[in-house]
Amino acid sequence: MPDLKPPRLNAGERETLLALLQYQRDSLARKITGAGESAARQPAVGSGTTLLWLVKHMTRAEILWLAVRFAGQDDTLPDDTVQPDDTIPAVISGYRAAWAHTDSLVRTAGLDEPCRRTSGEAPVNLRWVLMHLLEETARHAGHADILRELIDGSTGR
């Protein structure tokens, strides 16, 4: 697996946040690609975390934070439970569809715009949501790095 470095750019805040978020999304998707259907379901750590679950979880997180909480949409949250009929291509396709939907919301909004739904928690703005998704995606891409190395020895971002 290639060790792809993060993008280096001299750009505005929104473009930089989206580029780094996309880098982490792609990294997570690369970790599951080529792992094999059985291996992607294999819990290699005590918590039971699997490659398929990580991608499904991040699909749910993107919709929750950007479509539901930020934009206030009534989107149905995708389930992050790994189902018997889940496949790597289908799970990645769902993740990519979530990116397209959420990126369209981000491109038309101001970074200082507040979330429309706070669920009783302290209010945050789009900037905070993007930073949170960036750190959560990076965290889970790191988990996927470890799982993939345990599964078949593959390394690289």
> pLDDT tens digits for 92-129?
999 999 999 999 999 999 999 999 998 888 999 999 99
Note the pLDDT tens digit of each residue in 80-93. Answer: 999 999 999 999 99
Confidence of residue 2 (pLDDT cuts 50, 70, 90): low
**Sequence letter at residue 119:** S
**Number of domains forming the structure of the chain:** 1
Kindly state the percentage of the chain with pLDDT values over 90. Answer: 82
With respect to residue 120, please indicate whether it lies within any of the assigned structural domains.
Answer: yes
In a domain? residue 43 = yes
Q: Which of the four pLDDT bands, split at 50, 70 and 90, describes residue 78?
A: very high
7: in domain: no
Report the range of poorest mean pLDDT among 39-43, 74-78, 83-87, 108-112: 74-78
pLDDT greater than 90 at residue 139: yes
Q: Residue 157 falls within a domain, yes or no?
A: no
Query: In the chain, what percentage of residues exceed pLDDT 70?
Result: 97
- State the CATH number of the domain containing residue 28: 1.20.120.450
Q: Which domain holds residue 109?
A: 13-152
Q: Which of 28-32, 61-65, 151-155 has the lowest mean pLDDT?
A: 151-155
Residue 3 lies in a domain: no
